[in-house]
Amino acid sequence: MEKIKTIDTENIIQNINSQKQMLIDVRPVDAYNGWKLKGEKRGGHIKGAKSLPLKWANYIDWIEIVRSKGILPENNIVIYAYTNEDSFKVAKLFRKAKYDNVSIYNNFVDEWTENDELPMEILSKYNQLVSAEWVNKLINGEQLEQYNNNKYVICHSHYRNRNAYLTGHIPGAIDMDTLALEAAETWNRRSPEELKKAFEQHGITADTTVVLYGKYMEPDNDDEFPGSAAGHIGAIRNAMIMIYAGVKDVRVLNGGFQSWKDAGYQINTDDIVKNPIDDFGVKIPARPEIIVDIPKAKEMIKSSNAELVCVRSWPEYIGELSGYNYIEKTGRIPGAIFGNCGTDAYHMENYRNVDHTVREAQEVAAIWKEIGITPDKHLAFYCGTGWRGSEAFFNAYLMGWQQVSVFDGGWFEWSNDTTNPFETGVSKGVKS
């Protein structure tokens, strides 16, 4: 195999805006987002770089992941990492896959991050998306970047499945059923009084740092939410409602319990006792703009400055199926933009990486821009009952987009009112 060449900082600068050069960041996704995992001066990644963590090289379909990110053999690929060894490992994989134009940049930490004039990008609210390493340090009382609170609660979220918690969880984590925060009859968030009570029962105040995660389990035969939906997406659903209610520091473990397992940290099976408190501390909802209901959703459909975004699968959007065994009516809300969650009502692969971490923000933003989802508009994401809508919301929230909400009732509430209009079939100009 021909020797893989290295290039210097000046070469990167000269080609930073070139369509020929494609920068590949193979550090952990958390470093790409903004965390300074090796004490570098500036967090984030080189402007325009794509995220392709070395961890993903362990997946048998690695080359398919590469191609799905638009990384093609004709590109001039430049790989950088924390170490030369990591860069070289990925470079060899590219070469083996017949990518001929591959080089390595070895001065990211000692030159690029040190020079404030060299362009970098960062996920706006990266600190709300934490790594397993960060959580482990939190538990062990170590000093942490972007954290100065003296009280925290780690929540293992699940839907009617405490067994998922009892068979293994992060040490010290309490369990939180999603039904504590949303009503089983409507799937909407609970009343302010009910939310207040639930938070107090779980020992959460508005000033508590809450770290949420979920766990993927094989579904029971009567499980209304098959495996993936009953896992980490439930944690993000809870996170959205907490932000709405007024918890000031809500964080999600990037990739859920799987990330904790992959990191090799201790797993506990104790049933941790919750420590109730007397008062949540603020009036709920402290951030009512986070959730919209039907009247506001109808206003947004008519507005040129707002979009209702349908985060459902294509078969649901065109009315081939409802997606849920408890929703009879099929179709979509007229005027809603198709935000394509993925294959079905229980998956969000179009918003996630292969390891269930949050998808690269630039990729999501580019897809959204093409279909008219832009940060200058008020956006309300919806799905069948609010779970997938909450995850799409969280993507936009992490990007720092200011006008983002969840239409909580979604298709379930909309379709239950026979006076509400609906559509089926393919809309003109909509891409599947």
Asked if the structure places residue 78 within a domain, the reply is yes
Q: In the β-sheet with 404-407, what is the strand arrangement from edge to edge?
A: 291-292, 404-407, 378-382, 306-310, 337-338
**What does the pLDDT look like over 259-315, one tens digit per residue?**
999 999 999 999 999 999 999 999 999 999 999 999 999 999 999 999 999 999 999
250 and 139 inside one domain: yes
Nearest CA to 84 among 27, 151, 142? 27
117 and 138 inside one domain: no
- Is the per-residue pLDDT at 430 higher than 90? no
How many domains is the chain partitioned into structurally? Answer: 3
Domain residues for 163? 127-263
Q: Of 93, 122, 151, which residue sits at a domain end?
A: 122
97 and 168 inside one domain: no
384 and 330 inside one domain: yes
**What does the pLDDT look like over 415-424, one tens digit per residue?**
999 999 999 9
With vertex at residue 194, the alpha carbon angle to CA 192 and CA 200, rounded to the nearest 5 degrees, is 100
**What does the pLDDT look like over 65-120, one tens digit per residue?**
999 999 999 999 999 999 999 999 999 999 999 999 999 999 999 999 999 999 99
Pairing assessment for the beta strands 45-46 and 120-121 based on DSSP bridges: antiparallel
What's 353's domain CATH number? 3.40.250.10
pTM flag (> 0.75): yes
Asked if the structure places residue 275 within a domain, the reply is no
**Inter-helix orientation angle 361-370/387-398, to 10°:** 110
118 and 60 inside one domain: yes
Q: How confident is the model at residue 221 (pLDDT cuts 50, 70, 90)?
A: very low
Which tokens in the block code for residue 429?
Answer: 């100009």
Is the separation of the CB atoms in 158 and 236 below 8 Å? no
Asked if the structure places residue 213 within a domain, the reply is yes
350 and 238 inside one domain: no
Asked if the structure places residue 427 within a domain, the reply is no
Q: Of 71, 98, 122, which residue sits at a domain end?
A: 122
* Residues annotated catalytic, as ranges: 383
Asked if the structure places residue 352 within a domain, the reply is yes
Asked if the structure places residue 271 within a domain, the reply is no
164 and 89 inside one domain: no
Locus of tokens 């790594």: 131
18 and 85 inside one domain: yes
106 and 168 inside one domain: no
Asked if the structure places residue 221 within a domain, the reply is yes
Asked if the structure places residue 75 within a domain, the reply is yes
Could you give the CA distance from residue 243 to residue 259 in angstroms, rounded to a whole number? 23
133 and 47 inside one domain: no
98 and 162 inside one domain: no
160 and 239 inside one domain: yes
